[in-house]
Amino acid sequence: MGFADQRFNVNLSILFTELPLLERPAAAAAAGFTAVELWWPWVDSPTPEQSELDALKKAIEDAGVQLTGLNFYAGQLPGPDRGALSIPGEESERFRANIDVAIAFAQSLGCTTFNALYGNRVDGVDPAEQDALALENLVLAARAVGQVGGTVLIEALNQPESPKCPIVSAPKAIEIVDKVNAATGLGNAKFLMDLYHLSMNGEDLPSVIEQYAAKTGHVQIADNPGRGAPGTGSLPLEELLDQLKKAGYDGWVGLEYKAGDRPSAEAFDWLPREARAAR
């Protein structure tokens, strides 16, 4: 197998960021890709003006690329406010207000996969209170997504870069996945397996794949150290993706790495152009 046997999409919130948002879908298409994913693009607004949503939809459609994944509102990304759904008060309310807006936008482009980022721990708030709020909001999201036949993803971040995030291991993310599925009975909560974050946590990646491939709804990659393109670090990403495929994972692999000091269009030399278009 190898990279050529995977289905890759480009995360337009970390790649092509040297371009305005509305120019990024066309840039991904020009680089040979046919699928993209996004963090919630409006970091200050869970409910942007319809004209902004329509403009982004048109840019994606005009580029001829498929939207395959979208984050729910999660505060400032990249930045310290990684996630909103477990933060009491305004941020949690923003997450709830975003659910239907994000689903409607994504579904209009044929996308039904949503990443719901847990929030940081908040000083002075009982962690158990945050976890109860998180489960409540994740259940709301899973039920809403379930109405369109979609999937809610639970992602583990990494302790060094997100020290206040409570979801910093594969087993912890799987625990949340199982709780959401038990509460809804829908089975549409899945694990987002980000190999970069898990490697930063020092986890045994082959073991993670062996244990959790069946509960994985999406995969993201970047090399480590550096969070750069495959080949810039020491992770055996080609082998790990082969193992995932052999374990039965046949979904998208999101390219969520940094281009470094070069234009994003030059950060794909590790992947032959003929392997960039989804098959």
Cα dihedral across residues 255, 216, 192, 72: positive or negative: positive
**What gap in Å lies between CA 193 and CA 219, rounded to an integer?**
5
From the list 37, 91, 155, 203, the catalytic residue is: 155
**What gap in Å lies between CA 64 and CA 28, rounded to an integer?**
10
Could you confirm whether 18 is annotated as catalytic? no
| Partners of 152 in beta bridges | 114, 189
Length of the chain equals 279
From the list 37, 91, 203, 256, the catalytic residue is: 256
**What gap in Å lies between CA 16 and CA 7, rounded to an integer?**
19
Where is 186: in which H helix or E strand? none
Q: Which long-range contacts (CB under 8 A, 24 or more apart) does 237-245 make?
A: 237/195, 238/2, 238/3, 240/195, 240/205, 240/206, 240/209, 241/1, 241/3, 241/6, 242/1, 242/2, 242/5, 243/206, 243/209, 243/210, 244/193, 244/209, 244/213, 244/216, 244/219, 245/1, 245/5, 245/6
Could you confirm whether 155 is annotated as catalytic? yes
Pair type for strands 66-71 and 189-194: unpaired
Where is 255: in which H helix or E strand? strand 252-255
Which residues are annotated as catalytic? 155, 256
